[in-house]
Amino acid sequence: MRLRSNLALLVTPLLISLGALALWVNYQRADKIFQDRRALDWSRNLRPQLEQHLSITFWATAFTVLIAVPLGIVLTRPRYRRFGGPVLAVATSGQAIPAFGLLVLAFAWLGRGQWTTIWALTLFTLLPVIRNTMVGLDQVDSAVIEAGRGMGLTRRHVLRQIEIPLAVPVILAGIRTALVITVGMATLAFLIGGGGLGATINAGIGLSRDLVLVTGAGLTALVALSVDWLAALIEKALRPRGL
């Protein structure tokens, strides 16, 4: 199990590099018309789009974590536990709205722009993180908590020294899910003026140029893979020893 995941961590960057190479070679060898060159121009289109894509992903995920993890923690405390059900229900229905619909709603409310996308995606990915935070904390062996409390650790000690460290793997898995969703959804950001690699894919469709379409879609996939690989690395680093 451990060996396999280590192997995956090593192989993924290799695959990503190979994919990038393939995209580049494909671009070099293709017959290119003016529109192709223009749409796939690195400094005018691809690089800014890539940056927008990554910044949308980063900020949306960051806000999700900042909101959902504390919320998940609070909702597992005895005093607030009864709100857990309702909050999860709201978060679930939030995720049940099609992403596109959510973007349009956010657009109607907040107007065009990158930040509208970021807030919409934040809202959209709260659920997996809240849920995993709650599940992660709830699955901590009650005997461990009982032992801790019984030795005189305060509630806060138990939360910080025992519950959260032991819930970290599950919480991180939720964050990773959110990250993957966000990277994918960021392709729709261009619809409301948020930019991102979706613009290139869209251009490819609009121009009926396969080269543009494939390059845009391929880049999106590579970004998703890289982000996931990074998340896996972080997960591995933060996982407490002894588990």
Partner 1 sequence: MTSFATSPASVTAAPSAATPAETDDASRDVMIRLEHVSKVYPGTEVPAVAELDLEIPRGEILVLVGPSGCGKSTTLRLINRMIEPSSGRIIFDGEDVTEVNPDLLRRRIGYVIQQVGLFPHHTIAQNIATVPQLLGWDKNTIRARVDELLELTGLDPSIYRDRYPKELSGGQAQRVGVARALGADPDVLLMDEPFGAIDPITRDRLQNEFLRLQSELKKTIVFVTHDIDEAIKMGDRIAILGDQSRIAQFDTPERILAYPVDDFVSDFIGSGSTLKGLNFERVRDIQLADSFAVVEVSATAQETRAAFDASEEKWMLVLDAERRPARWVGSEHLARADFDITRHGVTVRAKVPTNATLHDALEEMLLSNAGQACVVDNQGRFLGILDVERLADVLKRMRAEAKKHYDLLAVENRSQ
Contact residues toward partner 1 (CB under 8 A) are 141, 143-154, 157, 161-162, 165-166, 240-243
Closest contact distance (angstroms) between CB of 163 and partner 1 is 11
Q: Which is closer to partner 1, CB of 51 or CB of 141?
A: 141
Q: Which is closer to partner 1, CB of 96 or CB of 242?
A: 242
Helix (H) or strand (E) holding 93: helix 84-96
Tokens for 23?
């995209």
Number of helical H runs and strand E runs in the chain: 12, 0
Closest contact distance (angstroms) between CB of 160 and partner 1 is 12
Tokens for 149?
């409390």
Closest contact distance (angstroms) between CB of 242 and partner 1 is 3
Contact 189, 196 (CB under 8 A): yes
Q: Which is closer to partner 1, CB of 96 or CB of 243?
A: 243
Closest contact distance (angstroms) between CB of 173 and partner 1 is 17
Q: Which is closer to partner 1, CB of 128 or CB of 148?
A: 148
Closest contact distance (angstroms) between CB of 9 and partner 1 is 21
Scanning 139-239, the segments in alpha helix (DSSP H) are: 142-150, 155-157, 164-185, 198-207, 210-238
Contact 23, 210 (CB under 8 A): no
Q: Which is closer to partner 1, CB of 10 or CB of 243?
A: 243
Q: Which is closer to partner 1, CB of 29 or CB of 152?
A: 152
End-to-end CA distance of the chain: 13
Q: Residues 46, 48, 54, CA angle at the centre, nearest 5°?
A: 100
Contact 213, 201 (CB under 8 A): yes
Closest contact distance (angstroms) between CB of 151 and partner 1 is 5
